[in-house]
């Protein structure tokens, strides 16, 4: 049974930091492309960051967010620094069987999703 369980969300002030974690089970984690997406009400899901053997970032978070993975722990992380009110969203991790970087920013490319964790940044 595949599971992706996010943790680490919360309410912070602008300029603060948060670290999200996503614990995976039920599939061969090390061979999957992992990513973080975020979504706000009324908007489509937005790619934030992805990781295979290299990392990928949305322009809006480049230089502030860092994605990493620990294959021994089957966990992917998202370190978020210098948070802004516009970063407020539900953040979900996703796993894609296809390891290449083709289409990594497209949510439909992903096979498994977590339930999401709320991040709220106050001004």
pLDDT digits (tens, 9 = 90+) for 24-71: 999 999 999 999 999 999 999 999 999 999 999 999 999 999 999 999
Q: How much is the average pLDDT of 8-30?
A: 98
Confidence of residue 15 (pLDDT cuts 50, 70, 90): very high
Is residue 113 within 8 A of residue 94, CB to CB? The reply is yes
Q: How much is the average pLDDT of 4-14?
A: 98
SS3 for 2-20 is CEEEEECCEEEECCCCEEE
pLDDT digits (tens, 9 = 90+) for 69-114: 999 999 999 999 999 999 999 999 999 998 888 889 999 999 999 9
């Amino acid at each position: 049974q595949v599971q992706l369980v996010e943790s680490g969300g919360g309410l912070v002030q602008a300029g603060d930091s948060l670290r999200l974690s996503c614990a995976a089970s039920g599939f061969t984690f090390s061979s999957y492309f992992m990513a973080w997406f975020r979504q706000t009400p009324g908007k489509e899901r937005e790619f934030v960051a992805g990781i295979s053997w290299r990392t990928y970032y949305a322009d809006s978070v480049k230089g502030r967010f860092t994605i990493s993975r620990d294959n021994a722990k089957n966990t992917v992380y998202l370190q978020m620094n210098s948070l802004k009110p516009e970063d407020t969203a539900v953040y979900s991790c996703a796993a894609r069987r296809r390891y290449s970087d083709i289409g990594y920013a497209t949510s439909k490319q992903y096979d498994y999703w977590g339930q999401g964790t709320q991040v709220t940044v106050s001004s």
